[in-house]
Amino acid sequence: QVQLVESGGGLVQPGGSLRLSCVASGNIPSINTMGWYRQAPGKQREFVAYINSDDTTNYHDAVKGRLTISRDNAKNTIYLQMNMLKPEDTTLYYCNALSRVRGNSFSSFWGQGTQVTVSS
């Protein structure tokens, strides 16, 4: 089991910045990949970014160049630095951990979500 707690969301003007944090606890050694997703009520959850154990990353095209995912292994934490924010970035952001629960089996774990609102 992995528990994830997000923080850092809030209200920001277009062009502004936020930094989201996600602290993981529980079976930390089981985690292979961590990432960020976003989802508005009534809509499907959407991939934003993920980071691998070797620090390689992937991004959704809509956020590439504006958002940066990083990790601090000593603190069991990943971050999403969000710059040049746009109104279309407004939604709930969720932290995700892809964890190995058996030798060849994986499970996804989710945080509770943190709200990002970009508005003037």
Tokens 């959850």 found at? 45
Walk along the chain (120 residues) in steps of 10 and give the mean pLDDT of each run. Answer: 97 98 96 96 95 95 96 96 97 96 90 97
Asked if residue 7 lies in contact with residue 21, where contact means CB atoms within 8 angstroms, the answer is yes
Question: Nearest Cα to 67, choosing from 45, 83, 91, 51?
Answer: 83
Tokens 């990790």 found at? 71
What pLDDT sits at residue 101? Answer: 86
